[in-house]
Amino acid sequence: MKKSFAVVLAVLMLVSILIPLGAFTASARESVVFTEGNFKYEVYDGEAWIVGATADLGSDIVIPSTLGGYPVVLICNIPGSPLVTSVTIPSTVESIWPDVFEDCIHIERVYISDFAAWCEIDFDYNAVTWYCSNPLASGAELYLNGEKMDLTNLVIPDGVEKIGDYAFISEWDMIEGVIETVEIPSSVTSIGQGAFCYCAGIKSIIIPDSVKFIGDNAFNSCSKLEQVTLSENIGYIEDYLFYDCTSLRSVNIPQGVKTICEYAFARCHSLENVTIPDTVEKIEEGAFGGAISLKSITIPDSVTEIERFAFYGCKSLESVTLSPNVEFINGMTFAECESLKSVEIPHGVLRLHDNVFENCKSLTSVTFPSSVRDIGEEVFLGCDNVVICCDKDDYAYEYAVQNGIKTHCDNVEQDVSVPAQTYDWKYLIVVCGAAVVALVVVAVVAKKKKAK
């Protein structure tokens, strides 16, 4: 009894200690805003975050490298003005939040003292307002130690380990673009999201094998990009990575890539050849959508999932080899592929979702295996000449009959567009007998009238 009481007492004492300790810890974490000069800042883990200003910062904003003796690493918020024409960013800054400088629409010059540090800054992007916190996105020019930098032939300094988010984003509506070539050293291990977004002047790029991650949108809308050599050590082709790279002609996806993510190669209008390695397991939504020059595609056995719209609008696509390990072909996967002529659905596929082949106007033959147990609505909408090849015992045959689609079974073509009407033989005898009786009655009546 005494032992049990001692255990309970110990637990109560421990709780009484932990509760105030927890309260003290929570209190210590509450933010405290400090002021130095015209800047408001908070301190976290020995680093200063700028959160505002006490007054107008003038037309030339100079971000301090330290506040309260702490290095300034993050700019969360500062008041801006259309009158601002320049900003100085110290080498201590690591990240700038999305709406910083949003009102500074006339920034012409960005002053820095360390180009390597600039390369590693993570800028941010507001998807609602389409505003990026990097002034380069609005047409500003970079000045290193007071001298204007020529970014035409961009050389990332050796020793840089990452290229930050939106570090070299260009103006979205520029036709030519500032950067034409990019040299990336082997010290770089990651390229941030949107890093070279809208860089319309880049024609080719080699990404060294030291790079293990490339963020989404990194080369989005690089309209003159024709050739890319990807690192052999990336695991994913991220969302929108080469979206709207309308001049990209071919790309070899390296071994080791597991997923081709959403819209990675969408609207790559010049893309003719793609080699998908046998490490890829998933092709996500719209991955190759609108790649209007793509002529053929072979999906390796490693792929187990193809999401909707994956090859939507590939107008030149003539042939497709599908993986036998895909169980579902999702909606609109090959819709609007006007040149697609024939498709063989591999054994193992269980279901075709709605509108898979919608408006594939050249499609004349689709071979179905016995494994298919369900076919969605309007799968062949607009495919006026399609013939379903299957066994009469398969679900695909039943689907064809119900939807007025021609079939080809056991090497005998049958047009089931108007299903033949069948009758029970007993019913036919009854109908014929009734007709005979009616004729006899008519004859008798006519004879009696004549006799009168």
User: Does the pLDDT at position 21 exceed 80?
Assistant: no
Please give the residue that has the higher pLDDT: either 99 or 382. Answer: 382
Average pLDDT over residues 231-260: 96
Number of domains in the chain: 1
d(CA 407, CA 163): 56
Query: pTM here?
Result: 0.83
Domain presence at residue 25 = yes
Domain presence at residue 31 = yes
d(CA 191, CA 216): 9
pLDDT tier at 339, thresholds 50, 70, 90:
very high
Please give the residue that has the higher pLDDT: either 294 or 176. Answer: 294
Q: What is the CATH classification number for the domain harbouring 141?
A: 3.80.10
pLDDT at 159: 98
Domain presence at residue 267 = no
Phi–psi pair at 402, nearest 5 degrees: -65, -25
Residue appearing with tokens 């939507």: 312
Domain presence at residue 128 = yes
Weakest mean pLDDT among 26-40, 87-101, 131-145: 26-40
Tens-place pLDDT, residues 40-70: 999 999 999 999 999 999 999 999 999 999 9
Q: Please name the amino acid found at residue 73.
A: V
Average pLDDT over residues 409-419: 48
Phi–psi pair at 128, nearest 5 degrees: -85, -50
The runs of H, that is alpha helices, within 180-227 are: none
Instruction: Classify 429 as helix, strand or coil.
Output: helix
Domain presence at residue 97 = yes
Domain presence at residue 77 = yes
Which residue segment(s) compose the domain that 72 sits in?
A: 21-146
- Mean pLDDT over all residues of the chain? 87
Please give the residue that has the higher pLDDT: either 98 or 18. Answer: 98
Weakest mean pLDDT among 121-130, 310-319, 369-378, 441-450: 441-450
d(CA 218, CA 233): 17
Domain presence at residue 59 = yes
Domain presence at residue 273 = no
Phi–psi pair at 413, nearest 5 degrees: -80, 140
